[in-house]
């Protein structure tokens, strides 16, 4: 929406252990379990015109990720809200991406849970700008086997499988990897997946094999409001390849069209009408939110 900001806007700022500082200066002890085990959860929350968008569902998902991994929630929702609002405020009025991470804390290396305080780290960076080329030409994706574990609904920092899958896409000259488990679409390496078949918008049901994306949920609601038929049901590999449209959603991308899949065009090979309707509805909402 607005990523230029004012000349006084800070481009990046971190918060760790009660102190605001430049991200490059933020350090974590090597024995932090986030570093040693990837024993941590995280959230990414967009802020439009400096205002946190859909914060409550992000905090609810954070609480759920902490519950699943049995990491104590170190803050109340009000404390999270106060901290994140202050971080965004200090950065200014541009569009931001707020990252927060909670690790199980610093302790001698041992797999079993230690009796220690969680580590909290937050940072703000400018929200990546979506280019005209991405909107006009769409993204390219490959399909690949979902090699991840069975708790994909928890937003954990143990992302090595996602990292490897995304790199597989990059190595193939593509933007995103769309993951398949037992022949069914789960999600992207860092996004949720929607397809359009015969005018119906379909996304895989929210189980343990995919992240319950905040944007995914919002897109479903917007589609219903727009009168688009929406279903949450499994998508086979064949349906994915034969879909009229494929889209991916995330808090930083909103919703983007995938126009090439495994080297072949999706539908007509151009961003489709259902994507466009959803993109416009989402942008209108973000704009109205920023203007409030
Ligand atoms: N799935 C995965 C694996 C992701 O990493 C993301 C983005 N963090 C999403 C889905 C989209 O979630 P959200 O809309 O909440 O950003």
pLDDT attached to residue 17? 85
List, chain by chain if needed, residues with CB within 6 Å of any ligand 1 atom: 44, 162, 187, 190-192, 211, 213-216, 249-251
pLDDT attached to residue 1? 57
pLDDT attached to residue 15? 98
Residue among 204, 250, 286 whose CB has most ligand 1 atoms within 8 A, to mutate: 250
Q: Which of 51, 75, 155, 268 is catalytic?
A: 155
Q: Tell me, in angstroms, the distance from the centre of ligand 1 to residue 252's CA.
A: 9
- Atom 9, ligand 1: residue with shortest CA distance: 191
Residue among 192, 207, 210 whose CB has most ligand 1 atoms within 8 A, to mutate: 192
Q: Tell me, in angstroms, the distance from the centre of ligand 1 to residue 193's CA.
A: 10
Structural domains of the chain sorted by starting position, each given as residue range(s) with its CATH number in brackets: 13-126 (3.30.470.10), 132-291 (3.20.10.10)
Q: Encode the chain (292 residues) as per-residue pLDDT tens digits.
A: 556 566 567 789 999 989 999 999 999 999 999 999 999 999 999 999 999 999 999 999 999 999 999 999 999 999 999 999 999 999 999 999 999 999 999 999 999 999 999 999 999 999 999 999 999 999 999 999 999 999 999 999 999 999 999 999 999 999 999 999 999 999 999 999 999 999 999 999 999 999 999 999 999 999 999 999 999 999 999 999 999 999 999 999 999 999 999 999 999 999 999 999 999 999 999 999 989 8
CA distance 32 to 260: 41
Quote helix, strand, coil % in the chain, to nearest 5: 30, 30, 40
Q: How many CB atoms lie within 10 A of CB 132?
A: 8
CA distance 46 to 254: 10
pLDDT attached to residue 37? 98
Catalytic (active site) residue 253: no
In this structure, what token pair is assigned to residue 114?
Answer: 């230690």
In this structure, what token pair is assigned to residue 138?
Answer: 């769409």
- Interacting residues of 38 by C-beta distance below 8 A, sequence separation 6+: 156, 157, 158, 159, 160
Contact 88, 101 (CB under 8 A): no
Q: Closest Cα to residue 217, out of 186, 245, 194? A: 194
Q: Tell me, in angstroms, the distance from the centre of ligand 1 to residue 214's CA.
A: 8
Q: Tell me, in angstroms, the distance from the centre of ligand 1 to residue 108's CA.
A: 32
Show the CA angle centred on residue 182, arms to residues 179 and 187, nearest 5°: 25
CA distance 214 to 58: 7
**Alpha carbon of residue 210 to chain centroid:** 12
pLDDT attached to residue 2? 57
Q: Tell me, in angstroms, the distance from the centre of ligand 1 to residue 42's CA.
A: 11
Closest ligand 1 atom, CA of 218? 14
Longest dimension (CA), the chain: 57
In this structure, what token pair is assigned to residue 228?
Answer: 């688009």
pLDDT attached to residue 9? 72
């Amino acid at each position: 929406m607005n990523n230029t900001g004012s000349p006084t806007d800070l481009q990046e700022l971190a918060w760790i252990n009660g102190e605001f500082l430049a991200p490059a200066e933020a350090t974590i002890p090597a024995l932090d379990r986030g570093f040693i085990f990837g024993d941590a959860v995280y959230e990414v929350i967009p802020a439009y015109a400096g205002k946190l968008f859909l914060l409550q569902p992000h905090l609810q998902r954070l609480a759920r990720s902490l519950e699943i991994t049995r990491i104590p929630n170190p803050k109340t929702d009000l404390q999270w809200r106060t901290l994140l609002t202050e971080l965004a405020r200090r950065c200014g009025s541009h569009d931001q991406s707020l990252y927060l991470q909670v690790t199980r804390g610093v302790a001698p290396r041992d797999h079993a849970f230690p009796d220690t305080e969680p580590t909290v780290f937050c940072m703000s960076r400018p929200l990546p700008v979506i280019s005209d080329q991405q909107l006009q030409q769409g993204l390219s994706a490959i399909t690949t086997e979902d090699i991840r574990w069975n708790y994909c609904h928890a937003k954990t920092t143990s992302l090595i499988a996602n990292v490897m899958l995304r790199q597989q896409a990059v190595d193939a000259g593509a933007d995103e990897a769309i993951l398949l488990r037992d022949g069914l679409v789960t999600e992207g390496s860092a996004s949720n997946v929607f397809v359009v078949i015969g005018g119906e918008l379909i996304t895989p049901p929210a189980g343990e094999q995919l992240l319950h994306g905040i944007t995914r949920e919002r897109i479903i609601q917007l589609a219903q409001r727009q009168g688009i038929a929406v279903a949450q049901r499994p998508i086979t590999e064949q349906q994915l390849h034969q879909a009229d449209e494929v889209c991916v959603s995330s808090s930083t991308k909103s919703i983007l069209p995938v126009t090439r899949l495994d080297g072949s065009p999706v539908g007509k090979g151009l961003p489709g009408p259902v994507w466009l309707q959803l993109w416009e509805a989402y942008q209108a909402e973000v704009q109205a939110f920023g203007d409030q």
